[in-house]
Structure 1
Amino acid sequence: MIGNGLDADGCIAREGSPARVPAGFVPVVDAARARITAAFGPDRLHSAYLYGSIPRGTAVPGVSDLDLLLALHHPPTPDDRAAADALEAALDSTLPQVDGVGVLLSDTATLLSDAERHDMGWFLACLCTPLLGPDLAERLPRYRPTSLLARETNGDLALALPGWRARLAAADSEAELRALSRAVSRRLVRTGFTLVMPRWNGWTSDLAASAEAFAAYYPGHAERMRLAAAVARTPTTDRGVLADLIDGLGPWLAAEYTAVHGEKAPRP
């Protein structure tokens, strides 16, 4: 890998690796592998992947979460989702190293489809680390930090804003506010970064670095983006901060994104 997360050919380098998993999280990965195998047999599971701070080697014990993507042979069913929910609960309750477990479900046809080529396909090929089964990345192209990639990954921010407002209005516990602040802030920082990604000409998942890359091109909105990066690392229960991110930064960012890269192609 060379600077800015690209390889020698200027393509986005896969950011995670089993070799980068911190020693304290090796038991976490082993437990995930065993429980996934038990919950989803070979007739249902094609492959499983890690993503996030654990395979990047930046996980912090007791703070970081465990993120998993399961690629099934067939579109996920309600029973599959129930099994994934049970898997999340079992891993979260038995692994003190992690603070939360998230399991994404998809199927091989979707992940390899033309519609998802520059969204979930890119996500798997560049941000996910193989855990079980054949690696679908071998059937996907290499990716460059283009405007097309920016559009298809985060060109639908405007669709998220009404739901965030509704969740903020309905939240009646600190746990709900923290979960919302984490989701909102992460999405805003990643959208801010991919807005400038083609000009910056690289890739990073580091939230602080993402905010600074954005700030170099949009200094007038830099402080709000730095606030979002800080909240992503330390979720807040402050409704005023959340409202500022959702209704202050959010609408401007969505409009600027559409102006620069266009809207994400509609999904079924």
Structure 2
Amino acid sequence: MSDTVRQRGLDSQGFIVREGSLARVPPVFRPVVAAARDRLPEVFGARLHSAYLYGSVPRGTARVGRSDLDLLVALREEPTEADRADARALGVALDGEFPQIDGVGTLLYGRERLLSGLERHDLGWFVACLCTPLVGEDLAEHLPRYRPDSLLARETNGDLALLLPRWRTRVADAEDTDEARRPLVRFVSRHLVRTAFTLVMPRWNGWTSELHAMAEAFAAYYPARAEQVRAAAVRGCEPTGDAAVLRSYVDDLGPWLAEEYARVHGVKAPRPS
């Protein structure tokens, strides 16, 4: 296998390699991972099919006191509001108990949806390539292997035009303080950088979850927008609370990216409301 293929997250046949593993979890984060593994079956009982880690912790790049713990939980049936409340309560408990993390984010889905044809190149790909098995049967065994192609690009991030009006509302409704805006800047920055990367992913021919590497991959193909995306990558790691940044995202970079994405890859298949 060539060094370039390895560096770009592909195997020798050009398929995306699953990026994380329990072996890569830094020692300081292992107690919180063990606690999540032990408590998830207690919280969801027989409804739990499987659970996964994703993000910086299983990639081995988490920062003590700065990174959150990201979990995906697959239930045997579609999640209820009670399930979501239970997940929030578990997250609050873990966050309060383990100072090495800064929050817990939990995604909840039903097994049938994760394996559905509609989600094959979105949530299915996410489970198979970006999630590390923690509890239960690995759903990746029922999913295909994935290449960094235009279909994957379209189905992962081809809905930016639908998201922009919601972001504008969140920006308008946010409390007028740096502290209140900072999490929103971080969230939107990361989403825009990832969308910029998947716009060029088929040409770059690889996968990475590292924000600065994503920005550099994009910059090679769109130099006129390179500095905007590089700056967004910085804010995705070290967010400011600047209102002007959010306005530039929803009024300039976001609309341009949505239009270019639709031109290059098309629009994501509609989901039920």
Q: TM-score range by the shorter chain?
A: over 0.9
One-letter code aligned to 2:19: E
Instruction: Write out aligned runs for 1:189-268 (5 A).
Output: 189-268=193-272
Partner of 1:55: 58
Out of 155, 163, 169, the residue aligned to residue 152 of structure 1 is: 155
Q: Does 1:96 align with 2:91?
A: no
Contact 1:66/1:100 (<8 A) preserved: yes
Partner of 2:83: 80
The answer for unaligned runs of 5 or more in structure 1 is: none
Q: CA deviation at 1:163?
A: 1.2
Distance 1:14 1:98 in 2: 23
Distance 2:169 2:183 in 1: 14
Contact 2:196/2:257 (<8 A) preserved: yes
Q: Secondary structure at the match of 1:132?
A: strand
Q: CA deviation at 1:78?
A: 0.9
Q: Does 1:116 align with 2:129?
A: no
Number of residue pairs the alignment of both structures matches: 267
CA deviations 1:229-264 (Å, max 9, x no partner) are: 011001111001111122110000000000000000
Q: CA deviation at 1:170?
A: 1.1
Out of 6, 11, 20, the residue aligned to residue 7 of structure 1 is: 11
Contact 2:193/2:229 (<8 A) preserved: yes
- Give the stretch that moved more between structures: 71-80 or 27-36: 27-36
- Give the stretch that moved more between structures: 180-189 or 123-132: 180-189
For the aligned residues, what is the CA RMSD?
0.9
Contact 1:228/1:245 (<8 A) preserved: no
Contact 1:182/1:232 (<8 A) preserved: yes
Q: Secondary structure at the match of 2:8?
A: helix
Q: Does 1:39 align with 2:43?
A: yes
Partner of 1:131: 134
Q: CA deviation at 1:94?
A: 1.1
Q: TM-score normalised to the size of structure 1? A: 0.98
- Give the stretch that moved more between structures: 99-108 or 176-185: 176-185
- Give the stretch that moved more between structures: 240-249 or 73-82: 240-249
Distance 2:245 2:118 in 1: 35
Distance 1:176 1:125 in 2: 34
Q: Secondary structure at the match of 2:34?
A: helix
The answer for unaligned runs of 5 or more in structure 2 is: none
Q: Secondary structure at the match of 2:78?
A: coil
Contact 2:178/2:242 (<8 A) preserved: no
Contact 2:20/2:58 (<8 A) preserved: yes
Partner of 1:20: 24
The list of structure 1 runs, each at least 4 consecutive aligned residues, that deviate by more than 2 angstroms after superposition, is 173-176
Q: CA deviation at 1:175?
A: 3.8
Q: Does 1:67 align with 2:70?
A: yes
Q: TM-score normalised to the size of structure 2? A: 0.96
Distance 1:73 1:182 in 2: 32
One-letter code aligned to 2:163: A
Contact 1:12/1:126 (<8 A) preserved: yes
Distance 1:112 1:168 in 2: 34
Distance 2:161 2:52 in 1: 29
Q: CA deviation at 1:85?
A: 1.1
Distance 2:70 2:151 in 1: 26
